[in-house]
Structure 1
Amino acid sequence: MTNNDILKKLRVALHLRNDDIIHILSLVDFKVSASELGALFRKEGHEHYKPCGDQLLRNFLNGLVIHLRGPMDDKRVHDKDV
């Protein structure tokens, strides 16, 4: 399973639109355009297909945690250090 497949399955499972994914990536200061994102969801043989790199998927998953749980407050950060 490729990173593109993982991203597609998460988009469907969580009912995310492309705008939602762009917003989630912006939560971790990772910028991606709508056309770049569209290229990730194309079929592998398509002329404008783009493979999803590890960095993009990692940032999406980190942003998804913030999107679903909210930003980590200071108390939770300090509890982890102890």
Structure 2
Amino acid sequence: MTNNDIFKKLRVALKLRDDDIVKILALVDFRISKSELGAFFRKEDHPKYMECGDQVLRNFLNGLVIHLRGPMPKKEDTNKLKQKKSNE
């Protein structure tokens, strides 16, 4: 299974539109245009087809984590949470 296949399946399973994917990638400071994104979702025999590299898929997955869970708390915040739980 190629990165393009994985990307397509995640897009369909999560019901994401191109705008959503561009925003998710922006969460990890990865900029991509809709036309570049559309090239990943084309059939392999299409002249404008482009292979999805590891970097694009990795950044999408990292952005997806932030999109679904929210940003990772800072270390100071996690220490405060631990102290608060231990005091209870």
**Shared fold (TM-score greater than 0.5)?**
yes
Query: What corresponds to 2:12 in structure 1?
Result: 12
Corresponding residue of 2:31: 31
User: Any gaps of 5 or more consecutive residues in structure 2?
Assistant: 82-88
Gap runs ≥5 in structure 1: none
Point out 4+ residue stretches in structure 1 off by more than 6 angstroms.
Answer: none
Match of 1:66 in 2: 66
- Structure 1 counterpart of 2:85: none
1:42 aligns to 2:53 (yes or no): no
1:76 CA displacement: 4.0
- For the residues of structure 2 that align with 1:77 and 1:12, how far apart are their CA atoms? 38
Partner SS, residue 62 of structure 1: helix
Please give the alpha-carbon distance, in whole angstroms, between the structure 2 residues aligned to 1:57 and 1:70. Answer: 19
Listed one character per residue, the Cα deviations across residues 43-81 of structure 1 (whole Å, up to 9, x for unaligned) are 0010000000000000000000000000011134899xx
